[in-house]
């Protein structure tokens, strides 16, 4: 079974889950804000995906950070920020067991989940 991580009230999450349901893809939703799994999963995720893709710099949480927090971000700092503020993790993160799909792209889902 695939695991999809994100935040329940996120519109992109809703689209991704609707796509999975419509295509009969078994999945388990994990709200990483409530379940507190972001910090424990980040080391694995960062070996399977580029931190620049995983870190959401376009969201409201990024804009709320101080200039010092946003300055000179590298992988170590990004990991620390995402652990502290899980809303900085791009949504959804879909773990298929073999692939880690970040963000929702219906074409990529169709290709990877056939």
**Which residues, given as ranges, of the chain have pLDDT below 70?**
none
Q: What is the pTM of this model?
A: 0.90
Distance CA 74, CA 64 (A): 19
| CATH topology classification for 2-112 | Glutaredoxin (3.40.30)
pLDDT above 90 as % of the chain: 86
Any catalytic annotation for residue 10?
A: yes
Domain ranges of the chain: 2-112
Chain centre distance of CA 108: 15
Of the listed 10, 25, 49, 108, which one is catalytic?
Answer: 10
What are 10-27's pLDDT values in tens digits? 999 999 999 999 999 999
Query: With DSSP H G I counted as helix, E B as strand and the rest as coil, what are the percentages for the chain, rounded to 5?
Result: 55, 15, 30
């Amino acid at each position: 079974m695939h695991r999809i991580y994100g935040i329940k009230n996120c519109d992109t999450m809703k689209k991704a889950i609707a796509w999975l349901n419509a295509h009969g893809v078994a999945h388990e939703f994990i709200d990483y804000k409530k379940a507190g799994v972001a910090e424990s999963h980040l080391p694995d995720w960062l070996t399977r995906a580029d931190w620049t893709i995983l870190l959401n710099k376009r969201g409201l949480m990024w804009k709320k950070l101080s200039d010092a927090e946003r300055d000179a971000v590298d992988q170590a700092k990004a990991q620390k920020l995402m652990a502290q503020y899980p809303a900085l993790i791009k949504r959804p993160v879909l773990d298929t067991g073999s692939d880690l799909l970040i963000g929702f792209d219906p074409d990529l889902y169709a290709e990877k989940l056939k």
